[in-house]
Structure 1
Amino acid sequence: MFETVKYEVKNGVAWITLNRPDKLNAFTEQVNKEVQQSIKQASRDMEVRCLVITGEGRAFCSGQDLEGVNENMDHGQVLRKFYNPMVMELDKCEKPVVAAVNGVAAGAGMSLALACDFRLLSEKASFIEAFIHVGLVPDAGNLYFLPKLIGHARSMELAVLGEKISAQEAKEHGLATKVIPLEQWHDEVSVFAERLAKMPTAAIGLIKKNLKASWESTLEESLERDAQGQRIAGLTLDHKEGVKAFMEKRKPVFQGK
């Protein structure tokens, strides 16, 4: 189906694996397109209730493949045509998205991880804002997501100094949900993703939507959005199951409906 991305659905989780290990999973136009297409496919699949994005081999994603860069290219147009649609497809996904950062996430690879809802890091993973080292600015939504996660001052440090930060440093900065030992990597990522896949999917989508909107909203607007979202959530089968399970003193079995 895809040439540069592996796509597999298992136990309600869509696994999207960047598959150019010999190039540290660097982005090309085809990778951008296939990541976008795979996210869209997972978003539409009713069997999928969580997405995991990861990398094959020893890297998550090293950013743009510089072999495809030349002095005559319009970097802005490359972003508008390939990166921006990919990031927008990810941002509008109503299902939880996990970045399983198995190795280095540099440049636009870091941007991809930042755009996800959760970031699980291998103990060997690292982040680096590599843009400054080639005289460019962070892109693909990087400077939109980063300060929301760690604040303005720390974002300035990472973006301008361009220093590599380890998985543990990322956790201390607030960039990582969890740091996982190598020997437990795949099992723990699977457990985390499958846990999300068993949760009330519609409610998660509404939480994502309301959190994003809160940055640009007044309290009054947020309260009204709460009311609208709660009405929608209250009509789901998962809400009915949650209440029934509470009354019966048992663990709910959510269906994502």
Structure 2
Amino acid sequence: MSYEHILWTEEEGVATLTINRPQVMNALHTGVIAEMIDAVDQIRDGTSSARCLVLTGTGRGFCTGADLSGGGAGGTSMGKGPVDAGKVLETHFNVLLERLFALPVPFVTAVNGAAAGAGCSFALAGDIVVASRSAYFLQAFVNIGLVPDVGSTWLLPRLAGKARAQAMMMLGERIPAETALDWGMIWKVSEPEELMADTGAIARKLANGPTKALALIRHGIRDCLDKTLTEGLMVERRNQLHAGRSADFAEGVMAFLQKRPAVFTGK
């Protein structure tokens, strides 16, 4: 499939999905989301051999959320009467978020600029989030009379804590990348000119790693967030069963005993 609103490349086991609407700071409408879902599904369905996904944006912004001028928040009837601003979540935005969480490979975000609204959610959904020093995170919904969505009320309190997440959502103020780092929302802050190189190094390391174990780690952490210790131990026990049966585990042990770097295949 050829894409109009995104760029899709694959190199050295890393697939890079770039939202490519710089004229509107990579704002999203249903057409953009549909293309993103199609691209992500290449990894899910095995038509892509990528072992890591990177999500970023073109130009000055990572993603400024729903394109209000293009009906991104509820359809083309915006301003012409009541609309169901939640419908497009059910049909598009939430579908993409669920796809990203369910990926069988690591997922890294390179936040090159503003990450607002739904863009904030997609940025913070990464297993590892690298942000440019010029980037910022914004829950802008309250500024237009809406509530946070695309997983924000689930994700942000788990990353930043209830007090910070609630203030961020209710005040609608920008959170600079350095503050996001201090709050535990992201992994690393890079200089703007070094962002993609830093992200690429992380992505290639993950792509060359034991993909099955990495997938179990990303799913296991999320699975354990709301469980008791005993339930969490059972999740670890089940995941270790699957990891222990992988070819990568056998290779890892053999490489350790032979005192050489492991060559993982993701099997």
Do both share a fold (TM > 0.5)?
A: yes
Which residue does the alignment assign to 1:58?
60
- Amino acid aligned to 2:64: S
Shift of 1:115: 1.8
TM-score (norm. length: structure 2): 0.93
Q: State whether structure 2 residue 212 is matched by structure 1 residue 199.
A: no
Which residue does the alignment assign to 1:243?
253
- Partners of 2:211 and 2:121 in 1: CA distance: 25
Task: Decide whether the 8 Å contact of 2:130 with 2:195 is kept in 1.
Answer: no
Which residue does the alignment assign to 1:12?
13
- 179, 186, 190: which one aligns with 2:200: 190
Which residue does the alignment assign to 1:79?
89
- Partners of 1:136 and 1:145 in 2: CA distance: 17
- Partners of 1:199 and 1:60 in 2: CA distance: 27
Which residue does the alignment assign to 2:181?
171
Residue identity (%): 40
Shift of 1:66: 1.1
Q: State whether structure 2 residue 211 is matched by structure 1 residue 210.
A: no
- Partners of 1:12 and 1:129 in 2: CA distance: 33
SS of 1:78 mapped into structure 2:
helix
- Amino acid aligned to 1:131: F
Structure 1 segment 1-257 matched on structure 2, within 5 A: 1-45=2-46, 47-69=49-71, 70-71=78-79, 72-257=82-267
- Partners of 2:175 and 2:232 in 1: CA distance: 35
Tell me the C-alpha RMSD between the 2 structures.
1.2
Residue deviations 1:38-72, cap 9 Å, x none?
A: 11112333621100000011110011111034043
SS of 1:6 mapped into structure 2:
strand
Higher mean Cα deviation, 92-101 or 39-48? 39-48
Shift of 1:218: 2.7
Unpaired segments of 5 or more residues in structure 1?
A: none
- Partners of 1:163 and 1:236 in 2: CA distance: 46
Shift of 1:215: 2.2
Shift of 1:252: 0.9
- Partners of 2:194 and 2:87 in 1: CA distance: 41
- Amino acid aligned to 2:4: E
TM-score (norm. length: structure 1): 0.96
- Partners of 1:61 and 1:182 in 2: CA distance: 16
SS of 2:86 mapped into structure 1:
helix
- Partners of 2:207 and 2:197 in 1: CA distance: 15
Task: Decide whether the 8 Å contact of 2:94 with 2:150 is kept in 1.
Answer: yes
Task: Decide whether the 8 Å contact of 1:108 with 1:139 is kept in 2.
Answer: yes
Shift of 1:223: 2.0
Task: Decide whether the 8 Å contact of 1:114 with 1:142 is kept in 2.
Answer: no
- Amino acid aligned to 1:164: R
Residue deviations 1:72-94, cap 9 Å, x none?
A: 32111111111111111111112
- Partners of 1:216 and 1:169 in 2: CA distance: 26
Shift of 1:123: 1.1
- Partners of 1:173 and 1:255 in 2: CA distance: 35
- Amino acid aligned to 2:193: E
* Count of aligned positions: 257
